[in-house]
């Protein structure tokens, strides 16, 4: 896989920058595979991701205000376009934060990346359009996979998490397996205390003897 080069500045050698880069490789690697140079800016205690576009503009990717230290703590994505030398270039490309137009997708990177591809393809510069097309074709070659996962907290307040079953190539297969797994929990004496997500992205919270676990259908990041 040919990737766009890493950013060229002194911060790339710092442990805190490297830790952030590692956390967000699920986003940066597909973008770099399409030839787009990415960087993570940590200026002023706020983390944001920059994606340089061939037309000289850039995308800024953050959560509601900035990026948390861990990918797992992202609640939604906000992607805006800017230009260091042209303040008239701007606009929101995608917003799945709580008040955004795509809030139903939350932190799902499998919705974020196609939205970026569509936006970049819509820009007037030919080379920028080509980068968006490359990203789109890459995503089409790597369809998402699914699993039934859980995270839990034990009686000694130790956290744990793992894939219960999967991965599956089809979302429906994972939903069916989720139904089997949660039925088994009920048969084993677990009590359901919360349910959300309907039949598309079901999530339930279960408790038994001071142990709590959350069972859900998860979309796995691209490898």
Angle CA 61–114–162, to nearest 5: 80
More confident: 216 or 197: 216
Query: Exposed, middle or buried, 194 (CB in 10 Å: 0-12/13-18/19+)?
Result: exposed
DSSP letter string, 186-223: HHTT-EEEEEESTTTS-EEEEEETTEEEEEEEEEEPP-
- What are the structural domain ranges in the chain? 10-141, 145-220
Average pLDDT of the chain to the nearest whole number: 89
- Here the tokens at position 59 are 């995308």
Is residue 1 very low, low, confident or very high in pLDDT (cuts 50, 70, 90)?
low
Q: Tell whether the model's pLDDT for residue 219 goes beyond 80.
A: no
Beta strands in the chain (DSSP E): 38-41, 48-52, 58-62, 78-82, 92-95, 145-153, 159-168, 191-196, 203-208, 211-220
Residue range 91-144, pLDDT digits in tens = 999 999 999 999 988 888 888 999 999 999 999 999 999 999 999 999 888 777
Q: What are phi and psi of 149, to 5 degrees?
A: -125, 165
Which pLDDT belongs to residue 167? 85
Which pLDDT belongs to residue 50? 96
Which pLDDT belongs to residue 150? 86
Q: Among 11-15, 109-113, 196-200, 206-210, which stretch is predicted with the lowest mean pLDDT?
A: 196-200
- Cα dihedral 44, 6, 134, 140, rounded to 10, equals -80
CATH number listed for the domain at residues 145-220 = 3.30.450
CB 201 within 8 A of CB 216: yes
Computed over its alpha carbons, how large is the radius of gyration of the chain? 20
User: Parallel, antiparallel, or unpaired for β 78-82 and 92-95?
Assistant: antiparallel
């Amino acid at each position: 896989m040919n990737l766009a080069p890493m950013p060229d500045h002194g911060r790339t050698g710092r442990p805190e920058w490297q830790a952030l880069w590692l956390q967000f490789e699920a986003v940066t690697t597909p973008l770099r595979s399409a030839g787009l140079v990415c960087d993570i800016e940590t200026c002023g205690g706020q983390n944001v991701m920059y994606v340089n576009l061939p037309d000289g503009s850039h995308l800024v990717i953050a959560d509601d205000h900035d990026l948390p230290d861990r990918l797992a703590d992202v609640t939604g994505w906000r992607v805006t376009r800017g230009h260091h030398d042209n303040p008239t270039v701007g606009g929101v490309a995608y917003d799945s934060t709580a008040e955004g137009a795509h809030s139903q997708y939350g932190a799902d990177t499998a919705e974020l990346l196609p939205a970026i591809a569509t936006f970049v393809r819509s820009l007037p510069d030919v080379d920028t359009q080509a980068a968006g097309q490359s990203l789109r074709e890459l995503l089409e070659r790597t369809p998402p996979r699914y699993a039934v996962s859980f995270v839990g907290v034990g009686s000694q307040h130790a956290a744990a998490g793992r894939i219960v079953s999967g991965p599956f190539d089809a979302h429906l297969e994972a939903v069916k397996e989720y139904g089997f797994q949660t039925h088994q929990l009920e048969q084993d004496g677990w009590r359901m205390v919360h349910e959300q997500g309907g039949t598309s992205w079901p999530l339930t919270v279960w408790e038994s003897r001071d142990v709590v676990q959350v069972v859900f259908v998860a979309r796995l990041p691209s490898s």
